[in-house]
Structure 1
Amino acid sequence: MRSAPGLTPVIGIVNIGVMIVAVVALLVLPLGHDDETAEHKAGPAPEATPPVVPPPPPVTATAESARNVGANELGLVPVLMYHRILSKRLASIDRTPSQLRGELEKLASEGYVPITAAEFVAGAVDIPAGAHPVVLTFDDGHPSHFALGADGTPKKDTAVRIIYDVAGRYPGFRPVATFWINADPFGLRDRARQKAAVGWLVEHGFEVANHTFRHPDLYRLTKKKIAESIVREQRQLKELGAPRSATFALPYGSRPKKRSTAREGKWDGTTYHFDAVFLAGAEPAISPYAKAFDPYNIPRVQSNGKKGECRKWCSQYWLEWLRKHPDRRYTSDGDPAHVSIPRRFRGKIKAKFDGVLITY
């Protein structure tokens, strides 16, 4: 992981050993209480039909308009990592529905707009001028992430329902996220129900992608076993009607001994290739337009407060840091056809974007 282009090197390099230690430590740390654990009052119940957020109106950015909104499309993007959403946390990495809702409402109130991991990697950041992209990611396909009620809408206190609750209160908050799933998505074992769940999410703009079939530690596996675990999940996703997985999240954030195995390989006659690989920690991600962007080592920020290992590595810390350093975060020019940046970052952008670059 590298520091953001042109920025003061305040963001440390986190190697895989540190990430694994941090994840294990967070699993066993006492829960305690912090600012993020206070119960957050829910807003009014959402409508029966989930809200639809229309795309922003088309604009053509100019140097003047980019300057007016402080556009910096080489800024940092928080890719937030969530696991179980439980009314009573059983591990430090769990979040309660109130905590998730509170964090999403803070993001919405500060002008963040969700995009999927695949959109981020592709540089498809189509959000209003002055807004900031955020990537909401949920690992393991836990039942608390998604389930449909008898009325055909997401059940109360699931991650998807909470995302829609927030979108209902903040119309600019686009209700999308990325779900990296395993063998029994959302706790479902019946293939028809699995297919219905994945189909609903894909139809509503969510990304459903590969997290291996049984969530092994890839560092401990042979190249063949890694490929098998990924291909088995790839085949399942295809059967369930999900598009090709452009992105892949490493179980436990643990990279294989041969790192290229996480992004491409072959097993039993089936090949796989990912456009990006996401880690398990522990800082905001570099813009996909930057020369320093490495699509196969994209860091994520665990959603959590500022206790223990999270004093400087989890979402409360980083979102506060980005709030205090607005010039360091990604701010959109509102024009997906151009990339706007302050002139001082001119040398930090990939050459292929020179033809669409706006500086001020």
Structure 2
Amino acid sequence: MRSSASLTRLIGIANVVVVVVAVIGLVLLPSSAPAPQVPAAQRVTPRPTGEPPAQVGQPPGVVATPEFARQVKANELGLVPVLMYHRIVTKRRASIDRTPAQFRRELEKLAEEGYVPISAKEFAAGDIRVPAGKSPVVLTFDDGHPSHFGLDAAGNPRPGTAVAIILQVAAKYPGFRPVATFWINHTPFGLPTEPEQAAAVGWLVGNGFEVANHTWSHPNLRTLPKKKVRRQIAKAERLLRKLGAGPAKTMALPYGSMPRSKKTARSGAWEGTAYDFTGVFLAGAEPSRSPYAKDFDRGAIQRIQSNGNKGECRKWCSQYWLEWLRKHPRERYVSDGDPDRISIPGRLRGKITAKRRPLVNAY
């Protein structure tokens, strides 16, 4: 992991050069293309709306001791990949697009390498509940594109969407928890009417997914005065609450661009609507620090763009970083399976945030 000075340079390079150019490309492309279809034999029937999502973790009563933590090589101060996705489309038309096949392969690789998805709000709050020896991963989707989610005539996730693929991979790999975070703007999933939007958001929230704030119209917040920043965030909050997903606990910055007043992104109010986020997410270049680390910044959480390792992505995107974490297992977050303890190698004792120190289980 690089120094804080290097981190600042990475944010500048990756967010401005890689993300802004690619997202502007998306804005200029039509967004109404139908999502790719998946053969009926590959479809997965989701659990009914309202049924509690499956919980992943150790059985009640299991306590991680130093001996057990050493056995599973737990390191809950390790790095966590927070993956950033945009459109999932059959034909890529922008550099940050991913095809359904690429998306599926990446999810299957994550499952095979012992990653378990958690939501952005769980991660930001430090509520990480994955089995011992496994690692958390956060799947995040910007802009609420139609390729992320939609309901078919039967009220099930439309085949070929990101949610349908996540469910299929979870069915193939039972330990792979079907959870992700969708950060939306004023027209979630390209749905034109409020009843359609409410049905989609209701299905997602009822099935354990997170739907949260990506501002009202996706502006570059750094170019706006404080009042307009608060207006952008608060208008999105009103929509989320109307649709049954608010108040949001997390927000992703459009283009990864921080307002001139960093505090305004984290909390504020506009015309009677207040917001207060547990975590604000950037547009990525590196894995995130553990939320238990004393240098973890909830107001500027790093993400990694999902992409190959060519060109601008040689050292910034998911293929590079997932391979790097595989080759450096001591740097990766590995769970002890006990949500009431934070297991770490003794050498890291001084790197944990003060309020978490009573929970430390060092070995």
Shift of 1:48: 2.3
Q: 1-side partners of 2:77 and 2:277: how far apart?
A: 23
Map Cα deviations across residues 80-130 of structure 1 (whole Å, 9 max, x no partner): 000000010110100000010000000000010000000001111011000
Q: Which SS does the other structure have where 1:340 is aligned?
A: strand
Map Cα deviations across residues 2-61 of structure 1 (whole Å, 9 max, x no partner): 659xxxx997852336521222354699xxxxxxxxxxx999624423496443323210
Question: Alignment partner for residue 75 of structure 1, among 74, 78, 81?
Answer: 78
Q: Which residue pairs with 1:37 in the alignment? A: none
Equivalent residues in 2 for 1:30-45 (5 A)? Answer: 45=42
Unaligned runs of 5+ in 2: 26-37
Q: Which residue pairs with 1:314 in the alignment? A: 317
Map Cα deviations across residues 203-242 of structure 1 (whole Å, 9 max, x no partner): 1111100100111111111111111111111001110011
Q: Structure 2 vs 1, CA of residues 308 and 158 (structure 1 numbering), >3 Å: closer, same or farther?
A: same
Matched, 1:98 2:135: no
Q: 1-side partners of 2:183 and 2:350: how far apart?
A: 35
Matched, 1:145 2:148: yes
8 Å contact kept, 2:23–2:255: no
Q: 2-side partners of 1:302 and 1:42: how far apart?
A: 28
Q: Which amino acid counterpart does residue 132 of structure 2 have in structure 1?
A: A
Q: Which residue pairs with 1:286 in the alignment? A: 289
Q: Which residue pairs with 2:20 in the alignment? A: 24
Question: Alignment partner for residue 45 of structure 2, among 45, 48, 54?
Answer: 48
Q: Which SS does the other structure have where 1:229 is aligned?
A: helix
How many residues are treated as equivalent by the alignment? 345
Q: Structure 2 vs 1, CA of residues 2 and 43 (structure 1 numbering), >3 Å: closer, same or farther?
A: farther
Q: 1-side partners of 2:3 and 2:39: how far apart?
A: 37
Q: Which SS does the other structure have where 1:93 is aligned?
A: coil
Point out the more displaced range, 279-288 or 48-57. Answer: 48-57
8 Å contact kept, 1:84–1:144: yes
Question: Alignment partner for residue 251 of structure 1, among 225, 243, 254?
Answer: 254
- Give the TM-score, by structure 1 length: 0.91
Question: Alignment partner for residue 278 of structure 2, among 275, 287, 291?
Answer: 275
Q: Which SS does the other structure have where 1:14 is aligned?
A: helix
Q: 2-side partners of 1:323 and 1:233: how far apart?
A: 38
Q: Which residue pairs with 1:118 in the alignment? A: 121
Question: Alignment partner for residue 198 of structure 2, among 187, 195, 200?
Answer: 195
Matched, 1:336 2:343: no
Q: Which SS does the other structure have where 1:176 is aligned?
A: coil
Q: Which SS does the other structure have where 2:195 is aligned?
A: helix
Shift of 1:149: 1.5
Question: Alignment partner for residue 188 of structure 2, among 179, 185, 188?
Answer: 185
Q: 2-side partners of 1:14 and 1:296: how far apart?
A: 16
Q: Structure 2 vs 1, CA of residues 42 and 163 (structure 1 numbering), >3 Å: closer, same or farther?
A: farther
Q: Which SS does the other structure have where 1:208 is aligned?
A: strand
Q: 2-side partners of 1:93 and 1:246: how far apart?
A: 26
Q: 2-side partners of 1:308 and 1:286: how far apart?
A: 25
Q: Which residue pairs with 2:29 in the alignment? A: none
8 Å contact kept, 1:53–1:172: no
Q: 2-side partners of 1:3 and 1:106: how far apart?
A: 29
Q: Which residue pairs with 1:172 in the alignment? A: 175
Q: 2-side partners of 1:347 and 1:43: how far apart?
A: 53
Q: Which amino acid counterpart does residue 55 of structure 1 have in structure 2?
A: V
Provide the aligned C-alpha RMSD in A. 2.2
8 Å contact kept, 2:237–2:273: no
Q: Which SS does the other structure have where 1:317 is aligned?
A: helix
8 Å contact kept, 1:76–1:329: yes
8 Å contact kept, 1:28–1:91: no
Q: Structure 2 vs 1, CA of residues 10 and 343 (structure 1 numbering), >3 Å: closer, same or farther?
A: farther
Q: Which residue pairs with 2:89 in the alignment? A: 86
Q: 2-side partners of 1:42 and 1:305: how far apart?
A: 26
Q: Which residue pairs with 1:36 in the alignment? A: none
8 Å contact kept, 2:86–2:143: yes
8 Å contact kept, 1:210–1:234: yes
Map Cα deviations across residues 115-171 of structure 1 (whole Å, 9 max, x no partner): 000000111101100000000000000000001112322111100000000000000
Point out the more displaced range, 308-317 or 266-275. Answer: 266-275
Unaligned runs of 5+ in 1: 30-40
Q: Which SS does the other structure have where 1:244 is aligned?
A: coil
Q: 2-side partners of 1:10 and 1:229: how far apart?
A: 30
Q: Which amino acid counterpart does residue 17 of structure 2 have in structure 1?
A: V
Question: Alignment partner for residue 160 of structure 2, among 137, 157, 161?
Answer: 157
Q: Which SS does the other structure have where 1:113 is aligned?
A: strand
- Give the TM-score, by structure 2 length: 0.90
Q: Which SS does the other structure have where 2:20 is aligned?
A: helix
Q: Which amino acid counterpart does residue 23 of structure 1 have in structure 2?
A: V
